[in-house]
Structure 1
Amino acid sequence: MRRARERSERALSGVPSANGREMEKIADAHGHVYTRPVPGLPVEGVRVRIGDVETLLVHVLRRFHYEVEELRPDDVTGWHNPSRLRKGLPESNLVSGTAVRIRPGAYPAGVRGGFWPRQLAAIRSILDECDGVVRWGGDDKRPDEALFYVAVAPGDARLPQLAERIVRWNWTPGRGAGSGAI
């Protein structure tokens, strides 16, 4: 029991990210953030918080790939080392595994206007489907058009409800990301 607690303490920071989830000092090592596959995308995986957050962010990535812009192997990042990001800002959600960045070099933080109208319409469709559970950094006061993050606090019932709905879509032929029938 002591060794498990020590391993957990090495991963967990004790500091919340902007959305209230604990930031983690390391990934893939006894915390809540692990590299997870993204079916249908040419990426090796993305570091995200396992469970409902993973289900939601993988879905967002898949819809972005199918409907906004085709992604390449190095276009997606998830968890970041906490020393490289500012606490209290939406980007801190990356450290808790509750955010992803899509093509961050193409959509630099602080700049708006990186998407064509058709792409913006697809992004809005993704956000509408997520019922306020996901926020796009392009809507923030200081825009970060590459950033998508969980916008609800821990314990908000909308997150598990949306994750359950996405899982049902994924198991229903003709539904889910890329089907055009969501």
Structure 2
Amino acid sequence: MTLAGLSRRRFIGATSGVAAAATLVNVSGATAASADTQIWKNATSKNGWPVLDDATSYTIEGSGREVSLAEGDAATILLHVARRFHYEIDSLRVGDVHGWISSRKVTESYESNYLSGSAIAIRPVWYPARTKGNLYPNELVVVRDILAELDGVVAWGGDFKAPKESHFEIALKPGHPRVKGVARKIREWNNGPVSDGAGATDAFDPKRLKASRAFERRAS
């Protein structure tokens, strides 16, 4: 059986749990060293964001967990993704979220986006690289709603040819109008009434379901 056909349910059932799952990934959330591992030498990550020597640590609202990200729009957007995961899919635990890393070793080129602090991996042990089918249907509904809400500014690794369902990245270059617009919208939610934004969203509302399915069709 190849990893591409291995789901979370079958994976966990076939191992002794998280300890065994950890053999597939390193603490950065990237795939463990293999013949495919390469050193990323570019000054920018795959999505066009500058590789950082360091990154700022942020607390994910409601969870108490921290993640290091590029300052500004990238942090605003990716923190929103992590916050919605925490509120709507499952509570984040210690070690669940990985952001900026310093190691330039990558297996898939999109993992270079961690180097620029413009991507996060949420539970990479549960949702390792090169696997699919790890999310339950209700969890997938929330993920699709997040992607639609953010107007394609965030891409999900579950849609990639070499999938990684824990991976979320900024899909557009720094300063892109849609990046700036989505970040501004999130900041308005954060500063607005408690009824706005993450924690108050119903991804299963019929109107939101219709919108997310339409967005998925357009993006595919």
Q: What TM-score, normalized by structure 2, do the two folds share?
A: 0.70
Q: How far off its partner does 1:84 sit? A: 2.8
Q: Which amino acid aligns with 1:140?
A: F
Q: CA deviation at 1:14?
A: 6.1
Instruction: Flag structure 1 segments of 5+ consecutive residues without an equivalent.
Output: 1-12, 28-32
2:60 is matched with which residue? 38
Q: Deviations over 1:81-130 (max 9, x none)?
A: 233324x7111100000000001011110000000000000000000001
Alignment match, 1:107: 127
Contact 1:19 1:150 (C-alpha < 8 Å) held by counterparts: yes
Structure 2 partner of 1:18: 46
The structural deviation recorded for 1:78 is 0.4
Structure 1 distance, partners of 2:104, 2:124, is 18
SS at match of 1:149: strand
Distance between the aligned counterparts of 2:166 and 2:173, measured in 1? 21
Q: Secondary structure at the match of 2:104?
A: helix
Q: Identify the match of residue 130 of structure 1 among 133, 150, 163.
A: 150
- 2:80 pairs, out of 44, 59, 66, with 59
Q: Aligned-residue CA RMSD in angstroms? A: 1.6
Contact 1:175 1:181 in 2 (8 A): no
Q: How does 1:140-179 map to 2 (within 5 A)?
A: 140-173=160-193, 174-179=195-200
Query: 1:109–1:158: structure 2 CA closer, same or farther, 3 Å change rule?
Result: same
Q: Does 1:50 align with 2:50?
A: no
In 1, the alpha carbon distance for the partners of 2:104 and 2:128 equals 19
Matched with 1:69 is 90
Give, as a single letter, the amino acid of the residue that structure 2 aligns with 1:77.
H
Which structure features the higher share of strand residues? Answer: 1
1:34-54 per-position Cα deviation (integer Å, ceiling 9, x unaligned): 1112121131x1110000111
What does residue 217 of structure 2 align with? none
Q: How much does 1:150 deviate?
A: 0.1
What percentage of residue pairs aligned between the two structures are identical? 41
Cα deviation for residue 181 of structure 1 reads 6.1
Using the alignment, how far apart are the partners of 1:181 and 1:117 within structure 2? 15
Note the C-alpha offset of 1:172.
1.6
Distance 1:38 1:81 in 2: 21
Measure the CA separation in 2 of the matches of 1:83 and 1:171: 36
Structure 1: which 4+ aligned runs deviate by more than 3 Å? Answer: none
CA distance change for structure 1 residues 23 and 125 in 2, over 3 Å: closer, same or farther?
A: same
